[in-house]
Amino acid sequence: MSDPGSYDTSSIYAAARTIAYDMLRRTSRIPRNPIKRSTEAAKKLRERGVPEAEYLMALLILQAPAAVRAQRQMDRREGGYNNRQARVFELIDFNDTFVDLVLSMPSEELEDFPERLRRELDHHCERMHTTKLTDRQYEAIVHGLSREIAVYRGAKKEGLLARMTSRVQDSRGVDMIITDPETKRSIAIDCKTSSSFHFRLLRLEEKRRINEQFRIDCEEAGFCQVDSGPKSDPSPTVLVRISTEHLGPITNFEFEDTTNLGELLRRALTDSGKYII
């Protein structure tokens, strides 16, 4: 078993590990299911509401076994509707903690953060005798969330207001609300990688929810408004293509230059922004 403690004893990672293990010791071994035990420890830690990085990292570590199970079941399309909804919320909770953790970390700690965090998550899953995230799954999580965090930070740097959404809104495909403080117009956005943006539009066209010309216009603009959520209760959401080819490189969860991002978001606000009370 890999032991991250062998190389790191005086950092945020070591402190997080200690907090996570302490919460596990305080959690009953009944039920014996290791995923439930780790989840229960995570619940107790979340109730403390401590925003410091080491506590958020400990929370993420404890959430890992349930998130891995949820990701595996989602990938395999296992379970019915209720089970799927439960798994979706487990993944959202894990992703939200990841985002909160990155936003709380000192900038100098972010350069090797994904690699060091991966070792902590793997070590905890090994310790609990549960499945670990695959390389592909972990890379997909980091890839997507790095863009979401970069948009959040970049929007603020460009003078816009950015607010992360609730887990219910997140489950409906809304990552954050962007507001122009001058016009008071807002958009609910879903950040998409280039491939995800493209294939989402293709699926919408196949389902006849948009036509070919609308899809082409969206591809050219890099954003478009669509209805998200269940058919019985759709809500307008702006898909935004977060492409480093068009917006520039992302380093340590931030765009090196936010100019192009600011222009893209302001075009989306002009086109689709609404007054949200």
Is 142 a member of any domain? no
In a shared domain, residues 93 and 174: no
User: What string of pLDDT tens digits covers the 277 residues of the chain?
Assistant: 455 544 454 599 999 999 999 999 988 766 679 999 999 999 999 999 888 999 999 999 999 999 999 999 888 766 554 567 888 899 999 999 999 999 999 989 999 999 999 999 999 999 999 999 999 999 999 999 999 999 999 999 999 999 999 888 888 889 999 999 999 999 999 999 999 999 999 999 999 999 999 999 999 999 999 987 666 667 789 999 999 999 999 999 999 999 999 999 999 999 999 986 5
Separation CA 8–CA 15 (nearest Å): 10
Q: Are residues 74 and 128 in the same domain?
A: yes
User: Are 157 and 261 found together in one domain?
Assistant: yes
The span from the CA of 160 to the CA of 152, in Å, is: 9
Q: Please indicate, yes or no, whether residues 72 and 114 belong to a single structural domain of this protein.
A: yes
Asked whether the beta carbons of 65 and 38 are under 8 A apart, the reply is: yes
Domain hosting 209: range is 147-275
Whether residues 108 and 154 fall in one domain: no
- 140 found inside a domain: no
Provide the whole-model pTM.
Answer: 0.89
**Domain-located, residue 139:** no
For residues 264 and 226, membership in a common domain is answered with yes
Do 25 and 104 share a domain, yes or no? yes
Which residues have CB under 8 Å from 240's CB, separation 6+? 151, 189, 190, 191, 192, 197, 222, 223, 264, 265, 268
